[in-house]
Structure 1
Amino acid sequence: MSDKARFRLVGRPRARVRAAASSPGSRVPGALAQLAVVLRTPARAAQPLFGQAPKTWQRMLPFAVVGVFVVTLLPVTIAVLTNDYGLSGGWSGALGVAQTVPLLLAVTRPLHAWGVVLLADTIGAALLIHADRVAAHAWPWTPMAIVGYLLLMACLGLRESIRTLVGVWLATGAVGAVLGFFQPAGSMNTAALLFVLGGVMLALTGALRGLGDAQQRIAEQESISEAERARRTLLEERARIARELHDVVAHHMSVITVQADSAPYRLPGMPEPVQEEFAAIAASARESLGEMRRLLTVLRGDGTERAEGEKAPQPGIDRLQQLVEATVRAGQPVELSLETGAAEAAPPAVDLSAYRIVQEALANVVRHAPGASTRVSVTVDEDEVLVLVVNGPARDAVVALESSGTGHGLVGMRERVRLTGGTLDTGPLPDGGFRVAARLPLNAPNKDLS
C-alpha cells in the first residue's frame, strides 16, 4: 500500500473522530473513540504498544509509564519482602528483580513478560510460605506483585486476542487456587482479589482495544466505499462518452454509408470505376461502424455487455492485407510485405498490437502525406515480431489533409508497445518521409490491449 493510500485509510478516521469529539452531544463517546484509535492493536507482533499513535509523545508514553512502575516497584518490593515478610536480603533482591524488571518487556511482548512474571510471583509465593513474618500479610500475591500484575494485564488487553486473554485470566486463577492449598497460617489470601481485578483490567483494556479495531474496520469499509463510488463514476463517464460517440460519429458514418451505397441509383450512368470507389467507401464506413460499436459496448458495459464486447473478434496480422487494400482504394500507394506464418506465430496481444500500429501509421500517412509511396513490412524471427511502416515525402502537388494533429496516435502506439514489453522507434527520414518501427516480443505479457 502506498503512503497516500495509507493516509486515506488511517488519517481520515482520526479526523472524523475529532469531529465527533467536538460535537456537544457526543464528547465522551468521541473521546473514547479517539483514544481507541490511538490504542489500536499494532500491526506487527513486536511493534510497541501505541505504535500507531499519531504523535511521538503518545508512542513513547508506554515506555515511560512502565519505566516509572519498574523504578518504583523494584526498591519497594525488596524493602517490603525484607522488612515486613522477614525474607532474607538475597532472596528479596532476587525476587524484586524477577517480579519487576520483566515488566519492561510488556511494551513489545506482553505475553512473554506475563509468563516470566507469573513464574517469578509463583516462586515468590512458595518462598514466603516459610517466611518469618508472613502471618497477617497478603499471600500468595504481595501488594507489589498485584500492582505489577495489573499493569501487565493492561498491556495484554491492549495487544492480545480475546481467546488469549481468557486463557491468561484462567491460568492466573488456576495458579492462585493451587497455591491456596499451601496457605500459611494467619496470612490473608489474595488469590481471589487478583483473579477479580485481573479479569476487570483485561475486560476494560480488551474492550477499548476492540473499539479501536472496530474504528479501523469502519475506516477500511469507508475506503472501499469510496473506491466503489469512484468506479461507479468511471462507469458513468464511460457511458456518457459512449453516448456522445454514438451521437456524433455513428450518425455521420451511417449517412456516408447510405450515400455511398445509393450513389449508383441516385446518379445513373456512373462509370464502373466510380461505382467501385463508392462501394469501397461504403465498405470502409461499415467496417468503421462495426469497430466503433464494439468499442461502445466495452465503454458502456459493467458486466455482461462489456464481456460480450470483449469477446468480439479482434483484428490481427491476418487482416493487414484487407487494411492495405482499403488504403490503396483510398488513393494511397502502399506495398505490403507479410511473412508467411506471422499471424500464427504471434500471441493475441502482439497480433492485435501489430495490426493497430500499422492501422495508425497508415492513417497518419493519409492525413499528413497523402499520395506518398508507403511500404509496410511484418516479419518474425525467433523471439519477436518486427513491424515497419515507411513512407516517402508527400507529392508536391498534394496538400496534406491535416496540417496539425493531437499526437495521440504516436502516444497510443507507444502505450501498446510498452504493454507488450517491446520497443518503438519513430521519426522523420532525411528525404522528408517518416518511419515507424516496432519490435514486439512473442512472449508478451497478458495485458488487455483492446
Structure 2
Amino acid sequence: MSDRAETRTRTSAAARGSRAPIRFTVVLRTPARAAQPLFARAPKRWQRVLPYAVVTAFVLALLPSTITVLTNGYKAGGGWAGALGVAQTVPLLLAVTRPLPAWGLVLIADTVGAVVLTQADQVAGHTWPWTPMSIVGYLLLMVCLGLRESIRTLVGVWLVTGAVGVVLGFYEPDGVTTTIALLFVLSGAFLALTGAVRGLGDAQQRIAEQESISEAERARRTLLEERARIARELHDVVAHHMSVITVQADSAPYRLPGMPEPVQEEFAAIAASARESLGEMRRLLTVLRGDRSNSGYGTDGEYGTGGAGGERAPQPGIGRLQQLVEATVRAGQPVELSLAAGAAQAAPPAVDLSAYRIVQEALANVVRHAPGARTQVSVTHDAREVLVLVVNGPARDAVVPLESSGTGHGLVGMRERVRLTGGTLDTGPLPDGGFRVAARLPLNALTEDPS
C-alpha cells in the first residue's frame, strides 16, 4: 500500500472512530410512541434485548436484598418487608417499555415504605426515607426516563421527587440518616445526563432525515435539469425538420407544375400547419434556453458557451467525435478513437446527438475522476443499433471519487439520453481499477420524449 493510500485509510478510520459516539446516541434514541421499548432502533438483536436483561438483573438482585434489609436491618416485620420489596422492585420491569407508569408505581411504593419505616423497631441509625435499594432502583428508572421522555416530563419528575422528599422530611424519625437531598441530586444528575444523550440522538436523527430529503431533492433537480438540457437539443433537431417541411410544402407548386387545385390547397395547409408549429417550437425553445448559460459543459469547451454564436451553432454528432478526442488529447488525456465507417450517416439525429454527448460526458468523467488514464473510445453500428463504448484504465494521479449525482452532467445525463432512444446503458468499475461505459442506441426505437 502506498503512503497516500495508507494516509487515506488512517484518515477514514479516524473519521469512523470520531463518529462512533454519535452513532451510539442514535442507537440509544427511542421513539416516543407508547410501549416502544428502549434501544428499539439498535441494529443487532442482542442490543435490543439488552435493556430487558439489565432491568431483569436489577430486579432479581434488588428484590431479595430489599426484603432482607427491611427484615433484619429495620425490623419492619416479614409481611411488610415482603410487600414493600415486591412493590418497590417488580414495577421496574415496566421501565423498558413504559418508564413513566413504572416511575409512578415505584414512587408510591417508596413513599409508603418511608411511612411504614417510621414505625419500624430499628429505623434509628439507618437511612431514611429512601433505603439504599430503593435509591438504586429509582436511579435505574431515571436512566430509562431520560432516554425516553421529553425535557418537560423529566423536569416534572425531578421536581416531584424533591417535593415528596420535602413533605416526608416533616415526619423524619429521630436518629436517621436522611437521604432526601442525596436522591434529589442524584436523580437530577441522571436525568440531565441521559436527557442530553437523548437530545443528541434526536438532533442527529433530524440531521440525517434532512440530509436524506436534501439528497432526494438534489437528485430530482439534477434529473429535471438534465432532461431539460436534452429537450433543448432535441427541439433544435425537430425545429430543423419542421423548417424543411415548411420549405418543401411552400415550394411544391413551383417544383411540380400542373398540380391540381385541391392538391395545391393541401400543400398550402401543410405549410401553414408546419409554420404554426415552428412558431410554437421557437417560443418553447426561448423558454428552455433561459438558463442555458449556466447549464453547459464539455471537454472541448464547445457546449453551453451562453453566447449568441453558441446558440446558432449546429448540434454535434458522431462525425465530430474526432475533434472531441483531439481536444481531449491536447488537454493531456491519452485517448484512442475507433470509429466505424458510415456510423454518422446511419444514425438518425437523436441517436447521432446522443452518441456524441455520451462520449463527451464519459471523457469529462475520465478527465475529472481518472486523470492520466489511458482511454479507448469505440463507436460501431449495424442495421439495428449504434454501440458506444468508452473504457479507461486506472488513474495515474490522484483520483476524485466518482459521483452519480450532484453536477447533473455525468451518469445521469447518459442514462437519460439512453432512455430517450430506448436503448440500454451499462456502467461500472473494472477489476484493474478502470471504468467502463457501454451504451446501446437502437436506430429505430425512439420511444420517449423527455419534454
Shared fold per TM-score greater than 0.5: yes
Partner of 1:86: 75
1:403-442 aligned within 5 A: 406=445, 408=447
The aligned amino acid for 1:92 is A
Q: CA deviation at 1:260?
A: 2.3
Which of residues 235, 241, 260 is equivalent to 2:249? 260
Q: Please tell me whether residue 117 in structure 1 is matched to residue 77 in structure 2.
A: no
Q: Please tell me whether residue 144 in structure 1 is matched to residue 111 in structure 2.
A: no
Q: Please tell me whether residue 174 in structure 1 is matched to residue 163 in structure 2.
A: yes
1:21–1:31 contact (8 Å) kept in structure 2: no
Partner of 2:194: 205
Deviations 1:162-196 (A, max 9, x none): 00000000000000011011111111110110011
1:209-228 aligned within 5 A: 209-228=198-217
Give the 3-state SS of the residue equivalent to 1:185 in structure 2: coil
Deviations 1:329-378 (A, max 9, x none): xxxxxxxxxxxxxxxxxxxxxxxxxxxxxxxxxxxxxxxxxxxxxxxxxx
Q: CA deviation at 1:300?
A: 7.8
In 2, Cα distance between equivalents of 1:21 and 1:56? 31
Q: Please tell me whether residue 45 in structure 1 is matched to residue 34 in structure 2.
A: yes
Q: How has the CA–CA distance of structure 1 residues 287 and 113 changed in structure 2, closer, same or farther, with 3 Å as cutoff?
A: same
Give the 3-state SS of the residue equivalent to 2:114 in structure 1: helix
Give the 3-state SS of the residue equivalent to 1:54 in structure 2: coil
Partner of 1:162: 151
In 2, Cα distance between equivalents of 1:92 and 1:139? 15
Q: CA deviation at 1:292?
A: 5.3
Give the 3-state SS of the residue equivalent to 1:213 in structure 2: helix
Q: CA deviation at 1:246?
A: 1.6
The aligned amino acid for 1:175 is V
Q: How has the CA–CA distance of structure 1 residues 79 and 21 changed in structure 2, closer, same or farther, with 3 Å as cutoff?
A: farther
How many residues in Structure 1 have an aligned counterpart in Structure 2?
291
2:232–2:288 contact (8 Å) kept in structure 1: no
CA RMSD, 1 decimal:
3.0
Partner of 2:425: none
Q: CA deviation at 1:267?
A: 7.2
The aligned amino acid for 1:222 is E
Partner of 1:10: none
Give the 3-state SS of the residue equivalent to 1:246 in structure 2: helix
Alignment TM-score, normalising by the size of structure 2: 0.59
In 1, Cα distance between equivalents of 2:176 and 2:156? 28
* Ranges in structure 2 where 5+ consecutive residues have no aligned partner: 1-8, 292-442
In 2, Cα distance between equivalents of 1:185 and 1:22? 63
Partner of 2:182: 193
Partner of 2:303: none
In 1, Cα distance between equivalents of 2:175 and 2:64? 26
1:262-301 aligned within 5 A: 262-264=251-253, 271-289=260-278
1:1-150 aligned within 5 A: 23-24=13-14, 27=17, 29-42=18-31, 44-150=33-139
Q: How has the CA–CA distance of structure 1 residues 43 and 140 changed in structure 2, closer, same or farther, with 3 Å as cutoff?
A: closer
* More off after superposition, 130-139 vs 256-265: 256-265
The aligned amino acid for 1:147 is V
The aligned amino acid for 2:62 is L
2:32–2:148 contact (8 Å) kept in structure 1: no
Identity of aligned residues (%): 78
Q: Please tell me whether residue 251 in structure 1 is matched to residue 245 in structure 2.
A: no
Q: Please tell me whether residue 184 in structure 1 is matched to residue 173 in structure 2.
A: yes
1:371-450 aligned within 5 A: 406=445, 408=447
Q: How has the CA–CA distance of structure 1 residues 293 and 152 changed in structure 2, closer, same or farther, with 3 Å as cutoff?
A: farther
1:42–1:50 contact (8 Å) kept in structure 2: no
* Ranges in structure 1 where 5+ consecutive residues have no aligned partner: 1-18, 303-403, 413-449
Q: CA deviation at 1:301?
A: 9.1
* More off after superposition, 191-200 vs 33-42: 33-42
Q: Please tell me whether residue 240 in structure 1 is matched to residue 225 in structure 2.
A: no
Q: How has the CA–CA distance of structure 1 residues 231 and 294 changed in structure 2, closer, same or farther, with 3 Å as cutoff?
A: farther
Q: How has the CA–CA distance of structure 1 residues 256 and 212 changed in structure 2, closer, same or farther, with 3 Å as cutoff?
A: same
Q: How has the CA–CA distance of structure 1 residues 407 and 232 changed in structure 2, closer, same or farther, with 3 Å as cutoff?
A: closer
In 2, Cα distance between equivalents of 1:21 and 1:154? 35
Q: How has the CA–CA distance of structure 1 residues 262 and 230 changed in structure 2, closer, same or farther, with 3 Å as cutoff?
A: same
Q: How has the CA–CA distance of structure 1 residues 183 and 301 changed in structure 2, closer, same or farther, with 3 Å as cutoff?
A: farther
Partner of 2:327: none
Q: CA deviation at 1:225?
A: 1.0
